[in-house]
């Protein structure tokens, strides 16, 4: 438990431990070699970065760890351009998130040979992808986030440790005392102690290591009363993950790869879904998320129209060559995060390292099969088949094979929280049933709101055979209670591991919401440290909560949507 106000020990890497202790909650031999800080953040995704920014600018010393070589989470090492709502340019997210978006645009203007027309666009979209108003490269995301963190690194307030994976925890009662991290690049490990810890990992990895209570999978309708919840709970039922990859197109060049080892399997694979999938996975169709009826898709790597069908090439395109001076790019660059490479045949939560790695490798084989199919068998508008000029772009993704550094995770372990967000709070149809027609036009108002967000409730097909579950939600708030574990005092979530259900996770898991969660957590820690209370007390004491909410607004956080 935090015992004193103000900043504590400045982080240092002097004499770091190389012991290989790996038993969770085993009492470690306390050593002068271990690291310490005011806040230790496991996971360098958007939530982790936002936590670090908020904590550092409010005087705390932070150690931020990330198991891959890049920070940025879903927007960088997972390769997913931001999924955002239509008001994002002006409100519905913290000011710092909009600053990030501005910095991305400025980064391109400063560093890339852009056309004069593109350079003058106030709301520049480098890729002009249809999924986002700011489709851009993962490498640029990582660079901009580093740029935002650099002042605190220079000032000695922040230490960023990449290629460090959380491995074990040391707990005492309701407190976390330290976490052990494996150095996945050089070997060995290091223990890091702190008054506060943040789980910003993609899968909620700190929760089991610290015996923090959590749930997984689907809750039952009887338990939550949610309109779209299943009759029976299933802790093993999770949304598909996707191992994204990048590609471009060179007309007249044959870049055809060798036939993948499992191509015949994937070329004949029909997902076993309820309701049924549209056909084979390697076809230009899918189940329409809103009604699960078959829907045809289009594909043309030169960006040409495909009739009334969505051209998948344009969907998550992150470089539109026409925004840059002639000769800069051979062609556009796009990210493949499509229904065709959602991976249903496996699970990444609460499995062994061997099982995890095998499942990710299986997803890689699906990707290679999809890519080969696009090169050799995908139907062309001219009646032919295949686009051999397609090329994998590992350089864009920071890898050798074109795949993302880490799978795109849609669902995590979720804390058992002081307050759980249900479909009746944010789901449009369920909200009307509970609150009535008039009140049901708005999401529930949370007295302890610390952020805002919006996205439709978007659940991808699951490893247990659920097809898409996709329906309308309402612009919502982030309640402080959903960020507080029921028991553990000094560990907070900052990713998809907050107090939602399987259903409501579908709208709280997107880029700006994750950033909002992380920034609120960073400021909560700074405030609790200053007031010499545990974070839970900020919500419990009316005067502290009101003071905290007013304070976070002075730093650009939003607690309410405008009327």
pLDDT tens-digit readout, 155-179 = 999 999 999 999 999 999 999 999 9
Q: What does the mean pLDDT of the chain come to?
A: 93
Work out the average pLDDT over 244-256: 97
pLDDT at 456 > cutoff 60: yes
Q: Which pLDDT score is estimated for 310?
A: 93
Token pair for residue 57? 């600018």
Confidence of residue 28 (pLDDT cuts 50, 70, 90): low
pLDDT at 439 > cutoff 90: no
From the CB of residue 24, how many other CB atoms can be counted at a distance below 10 Å?
15
Work out the average pLDDT over 363-387: 97
> How big is the chain, counted in residues?
563
Among residues of the chain, what percentage have pLDDT more than 90?
A: 92
pLDDT tens-digit readout, 113-132 = 999 999 999 999 999 999 99
Work out the average pLDDT over 146-161: 98
Task: Scan for tokens 């045949």, then name that residue.
Answer: 345
CA-to-CA distance for 62 and 161, rounded, in angstroms? 11
pLDDT at 12 > cutoff 90: no
CA-to-CA distance for 369 and 454, rounded, in angstroms? 35
pLDDT at 18 > cutoff 70: no
Q: Smallest Cα–Cα separation from 494: which of 506, 476, 482?
A: 482
Work out the average pLDDT over 373-380: 97
Instruction: Please give the model's pTM, rounded to 2 decimal places.
Output: 0.94
Q: Which pLDDT score is estimated for 563?
A: 83
Work out the average pLDDT over 474-480: 98
pLDDT at 233 > cutoff 80: yes
Q: Which pLDDT score is estimated for 149?
A: 98
Please give the full DSSP string across 435-465, using - where no structure is assigned. H-TTGGGSPPPPTTEEEEE---EEE--BTTS
The enclosing H or E element of 35 equals: strand 35-36
pLDDT at 110 > cutoff 70: yes
CA-to-CA distance for 170 and 197, rounded, in angstroms? 12
Instruction: Label the pairing between strands 39-42 and 196-199.
Output: parallel
CA-to-CA distance for 497 and 374, rounded, in angstroms? 36
Q: Which pLDDT score is estimated for 192?
A: 98
Q: What share of the chain is helix, strand, coil (3-state, %, to 5)?
A: 30, 20, 50
What are the CA-CA distances from residue 171 to residues 175, 207, 467, 560 (Å)? 6, 11, 40, 36
Q: Which pLDDT score is estimated for 6?
A: 35
Query: Can you give the residue ranges of every domain in the chain?
Result: 35-217+478-553, 241-397
Q: Which residue has the higher pLDDT, 4 or 497?
A: 497
pLDDT tens-digit readout, 252-307 = 999 999 999 999 999 999 999 999 999 999 999 999 999 999 999 999 999 888 98
pLDDT at 442 > cutoff 70: yes
Are 167 and 182 a contacting pair, CB within 8 Å?
A: yes
Task: Look at the domain 35-217+478-553 and name its fold.
Answer: FAD/NAD(P)-binding domain (3.50.50)
Q: Which pLDDT score is estimated for 27?
A: 56
pLDDT at 335 > cutoff 50: yes
pLDDT at 213 > cutoff 90: yes
pLDDT tens-digit readout, 47-83 = 999 999 999 999 999 999 999 999 999 999 999 999 9
CA-to-CA distance for 209 and 197, rounded, in angstroms? 12
**Of 7-21, 289-303, 470-484, which range is least confident?**
7-21
pLDDT at 180 > cutoff 60: yes
**Dihedral (CA of 109, 334, 139, 39) sign:** positive
In Å, how far from its chain's centre is CA 84? 12
The enclosing H or E element of 553 equals: helix 542-554
Q: Smallest Cα–Cα separation from 41: which of 488, 559, 491?
A: 491
Token pair for residue 257? 């790869």
The answer, yes or no, to whether the previous bond of 141 is cis (omega within 30 of 0) is: no
């Amino acid at each position: 438990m935090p015992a004193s106000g103000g900043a504590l020990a400045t982080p240092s890497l002097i004499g770091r431990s190389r012991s290989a202790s790996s038993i969770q909650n085993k009492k470690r031999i306390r050593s002068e070699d271990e690291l310490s800080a005011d806040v230790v953040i496991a996971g360098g995704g958007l939530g982790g970065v936002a936590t670090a920014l908020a904590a550092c600018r409010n005087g705390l010393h932070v150690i931020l760890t990330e198991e891959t070589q890049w920070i940025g989470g879903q927007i960088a090492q997972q390769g997913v351009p931001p999924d955002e709502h239509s008001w994002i340019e002006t409100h519905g997210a913290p000011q710092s998130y909009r600053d990030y978006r501005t910095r991305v645009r400025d980064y391109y203007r400063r560093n890339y040979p852009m056309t004069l027309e593109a350079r003058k666009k106030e709301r520049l979209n480098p890729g002009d992808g249809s999924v986002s108003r700011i489709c851009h490269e993962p490498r640029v995301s990582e660079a901009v986030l580093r740029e935002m963190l650099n002042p605190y690194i220079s000032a000695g307030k922040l230490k960023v440790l990449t290629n460090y994976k959380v491995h074990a925890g040391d707990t005492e009662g309701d407190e976390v005392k330290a976490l052990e991290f494996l150095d996945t690049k050089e070997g060995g490990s290091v223990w890091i102690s702190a008054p506060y810890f943040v789980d910003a990992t993609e899968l909620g990895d700190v929760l089991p290591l610290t015996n923090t209570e959590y749930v997984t999978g689907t809750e039952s309708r009887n338990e939550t009363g949610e309109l779209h919840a299943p009759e029976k709970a299933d802790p093993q039922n999770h949304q598909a993950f996707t191992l994204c990859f990048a590609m471009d197109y060179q007309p007249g060049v044959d870049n055809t790869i060798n036939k993948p080892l499992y191509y015949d399997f994937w070329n004949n694979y029909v997902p076993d879904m309820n309701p049924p999938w549209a056909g084979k996975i390697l076809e230009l169709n899918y189940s329409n998320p809103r009604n699960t009826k078959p829907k045809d898709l289009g594909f043309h790597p030169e960006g040409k129209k495909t009739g009334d069908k969505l051209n998948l090439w344009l969907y998550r395109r992150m470089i539109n060559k026409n925004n840059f001076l002639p000769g800069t790019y051979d062609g556009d660059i796009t990210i493949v995060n499509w229904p065709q490479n959602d991976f249903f045949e496996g699970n990444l939560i609460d499995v062994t390292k061997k099982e995890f790695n095998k499942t990710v490798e299986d997803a890689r084989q699906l990707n290679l099969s999809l890519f080969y199919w696009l090169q050799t068998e995908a139907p062309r508008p001219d009646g032919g088949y295949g686009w051999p000029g397609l090329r994998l772009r590992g350089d864009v993704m920071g890898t050798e094979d074109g795949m993302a550094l880490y799978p795109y995770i849609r669902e995590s372990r979720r804390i058992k929280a002081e307050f759980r967000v249900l479909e009746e709070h944010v789901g449009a149809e369920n909200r009307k049933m509970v609150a009535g027609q008039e009140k049901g036009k708005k999401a529930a108002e949370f007295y302890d709101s610390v952020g805002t967000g919006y996205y439709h409730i978007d659940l991808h097909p699951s490893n247990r055979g659920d097809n898409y579950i996709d329906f309308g939600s309402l612009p919502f708030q982030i309640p402080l209670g959903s960020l507080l574990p029921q028991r553990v005092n000094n560990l907070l979530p900052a990713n998809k591991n907050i107090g939602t259900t399987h259903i409501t996770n579908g709208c709280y898991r997107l880029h700006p919401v994750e950033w909002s969660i992380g920034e609120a957590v960073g400021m909560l820690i700074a405030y609790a440290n200053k007031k010499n209370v545990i974070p839970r007390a900020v919500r419990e004491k009316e005067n502290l909560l009101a003071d905290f909410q007013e304070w976070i607004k002075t730093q650009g956080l939003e607690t309410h949507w405008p009327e």
